[in-house]
Structure 1
Amino acid sequence: MSALDRDLLDAFVPEFEAEAVRLAMVREAPAASRALDQMRAMAAALGAASLATLVDRASQALEALDWPALHRAAEALARQARAVGEAGGDVALAPEPPAQAAAPEAPAALVDAEMLAALAPEFAARCDRLASAPDAAAAGRVVDGLRAMAGAVGLASLLRLLDRAPGLLEPFDQGGLHGLSAELAAQAARIVAAGADVPEPVDAPRKRVLVVDDSAMMRRLVRETLALDADFEVVGEAPDGLRALEALRDLAPDLTMLDIEMPELDGMGVLRRWALEGGGAVVIVSSAARPGSATAVEARRLGVAGIVGKPSGALSPDLRERQGVALLRTARRAAGLPVEAAR
C-alpha cells in the first residue's frame, strides 16, 4: 500500500465516491462520460493507481454501451474510494472474477390461441377487481383466481408478477395492488398480441427522487440506499428548506425524502408549502417525527405518504444497515410501486 497525502484524500475521496454513486445511476452516455472524466482527473491528482485502473475499466464498459457492466464498475469505484480513504493510501485491487458466458435467452412459449381468447376478457375483468379490492381478504381471493388462470395456461410471466402479491396483502397496500393490476393487464395484453408467453418489459421509467437533509452525510446515505433499487433515480439534493422548495419547483420529483430539523426553513415549513402547491409524494426521514408525536401527526395531516425514523438520532451512520429495508419499502409504497414480499 502506497501512502497518499492526507489533505488530498480528505478533499477528494468523498467527492470521488459521490461521483461514482452518480455514475451508478446514469442512463445516458454523455453524463457517464463526464463523470468518468471527473473521476479520472481526481484519481490522477491523488496518485491512486487503483482508482485510475477502475476508471479505465468503466470507460471500456461505456464504449461498449454495456450499462450493467458500467454500473457494476461504478459500484466498484465507490467501494475502492472508501477503502483508499480509510487506509490513508492506495489499496491493491482484488483479482477480477472470471467472466461467465451469458445464458441463452429462452424462446417464448407458444400458447393455444383458443385458450388465450377465452382467458383474456376474464383475466382483464379480474385485474379490474384487484385494483378496486377494498381489503386484503377480497384482494387475496382475486389474486388466487388470477394465479389459477395463469397456471392453467402455463403463463410463467404472469405468475412471476403475481409473486409480488403477498407483500402487498400484508400489510394491505391498495396503491401497490392497483399498480400490480395494471402491470398484469398490460402483460396479458402483450401475451395475447404475441400469441405466446413473452418476458415482461424492464425499461419502465424510474421514479425521480429529491433528497432533502442539512447533513451531507445523511443525504449520501439516503442516496446510496435508494441506489440499491433500480426503480429510483436521485435527480437532486437540497441542504435546507428554502432550496428544497426551489428544487421541488424546478425538478418536479415523483418522490421527496425530507428531513424535519433544518436551517432556513424546517421540514414542516416545506410540507405546508408542498401541501398547497407541490406535486409528487413525500416521505419523512427524521428522528424528530417519532410515531404518535405531534410532528408525526401533523405531517400525516399534511399528506406525507410515510415516515422513516433515523435509528441513531439526527446523524445516523447506521441508517442503511438498520433502516434500509424500511426506507426502500416506504419509498416504493409512496411512489406507487409494488412492495415485493421479503425474501
Structure 2
Amino acid sequence: MSAVPLDPELLALLLPEWEAAAERLADAAEEREERRALDVLRGLASGAGIESLQSALQGFDPLPEPFDARSVAAALAAHARAVVAAGHDLPFDAPPPGHAPIRTLVVDDSAMMRRLVRESLAADPAFAVVAEAADGREALARIAEEEPGLILLDIEMPVLDGLGVLREWALRGTGAVVVVSSAAVPGGEVAMEARRLGASAVVGKPSGAFSPDLGERQGEAIRRAARRAAGLPVEGA
C-alpha cells in the first residue's frame, strides 16, 4: 500500500460526501438502494484515488450473500476517516491504525468448541476475542458488559438457546451475529429463523462438540463469515 500523500483539500471535501453516502447505504431498505449507494462510494473512491477503498468496494460487486449493509457502511466510513486523518492510503484488510480489532464474543456450551472457534479467529488480526460464554444467559450478560462488535453464537445450549439469545439481542444487543452451529443447517428451519432474527450468517460446524478438525475444515468459512458480518473485505468475494 502506497504511503504517497493524498491531496489534503480533496480529502477534506471527500469526507462529508463519503459519510453521507455511507449513511444512505446503512439506511437502504432495498437491494437497489444498496447498489446505488455503493456506486456513489465507488465514484468517490476513484475520484480521490484511494486504492484501498476502491479495492474493498470491488468485493461488493456482485453483492455477497449475506450482505450486512449497516456493518459495511460503518467499516467504510471508519476507514475513510482513518485515511483522511493519516493523509495517505492505508491497508483495509485489517483495522486501520488507531482502530482496535473488532471485539468478539464466542458463545458455545463446549469449552473445546469455544477454543477451536477462538483459534480459527486468531488467524485474522481484524478480530480479538474479548469474552466467552457457555450458555445463553451468560452470553446476554457478556453482551451487556463487553458490547462486542461481533458475536459467534451456538444454537443448542442449556439455560437459554441461541435463538433465545437472538431474540433478546435484537432488542438491545450490539454488533453483528454469526451463528456457528450443527443445528442450523443452511436453508433449514432453524437457520431461516436465525436469519429472520437478525443473524448475518449461518456457518456449520462438525457434528460432535469435540471434533478437532474445525480449524482446518470450517475455520476459513468462519473467518469469511465474520469478515462479511463486520463489513470487512473478503478475499475472492
Aligned amino acid, residue 141 of structure 2: E
* Whole-Å separation in 1 of the counterparts to 2:38 and 2:74: 10
Give deviations 1:122-173, integer Å, cap 9, x for gaps.
Answer: 57525633553523366246415522541xxxxxxx2134222222333354
The corresponding residue for 1:143 is: 42
Q: Structure 2: 5+ residue runs without aligned partners?
A: 26-32
The corresponding residue for 1:259 is: 154
* Whole-Å separation in 1 of the counterparts to 2:217 and 2:14: 44
Q: CA deviation at 1:308?
A: 0.9
1:198–1:282 CA distance, 2 compared to 1 (3 A): closer
The corresponding residue for 2:232 is: 338
**Does the CA-based 8 Å contact 1:260-1:267 persist in structure 2?**
yes
Is 1:164 matched with 2:164? no
* Whole-Å separation in 1 of the counterparts to 2:102 and 2:126: 6
* Whole-Å separation in 2 of the counterparts to 1:119 and 1:232: 28
* Whole-Å separation in 2 of the counterparts to 1:259 and 1:146: 38
Alignment of 1:72-91 (within 5 A): none
The corresponding residue for 1:183 is: 79
Instruction: Compare relative contact order (CA 8 Å, sep 6+) and give the higher one, 1 or 2.
Output: 2
Give deviations 1:1-32, integer Å, cap 9, x for gaps.
Answer: xxxxxxxxxxxxxxxxxxxxxxxxxxxxxxxx
**Does the CA-based 8 Å contact 2:176-2:229 persist in structure 1?**
yes
More helix by share: 1
1:253–1:130 CA distance, 2 compared to 1 (3 A): closer
4+ residue runs over 4 A deviation: 198-201
Aligned amino acid, residue 133 of structure 2: A
* Whole-Å separation in 2 of the counterparts to 1:110 and 1:212: 43
Q: CA deviation at 1:259?
A: 0.8
Alignment of 1:1-343 (within 5 A): 109=4, 116-117=8-9, 120-121=12-13, 124-125=16-17, 128-129=20-21, 132-133=24-25, 134-136=33-35, 139-140=38-39, 142-144=41-43, 146-150=45-49, 158-172=50-64, 173=67, 174=69, 175-191=71-87, 197=88, 201-310=96-205, 312-315=206-209, 316-335=211-230, 337-342=231-236
Bigger-Rg structure (1/2): 1
1:213–1:140 CA distance, 2 compared to 1 (3 A): same
* Whole-Å separation in 1 of the counterparts to 2:125 and 2:111: 23
Using the aligned pairs only, state the percent identity: 43
Q: CA deviation at 1:176?
A: 1.6
Q: CA deviation at 1:332?
A: 2.4
1:270–1:146 CA distance, 2 compared to 1 (3 A): closer
**Does the CA-based 8 Å contact 2:133-2:139 persist in structure 1?**
yes
1:149–1:249 CA distance, 2 compared to 1 (3 A): closer
**Does the CA-based 8 Å contact 1:123-1:146 persist in structure 2?**
no
Normalization by structure 1: what TM-score? 0.55
Aligned amino acid, residue 35 of structure 2: A
* Whole-Å separation in 1 of the counterparts to 2:131 and 2:154: 14
Give deviations 1:100-133, integer Å, cap 9, x for gaps.
Answer: xxxxxx9x6456xxx6535642575256335535
RMSD: 3.0
Give deviations 1:250-302, integer Å, cap 9, x for gaps.
Answer: 33322221111122332223223333443333221001111232212222222
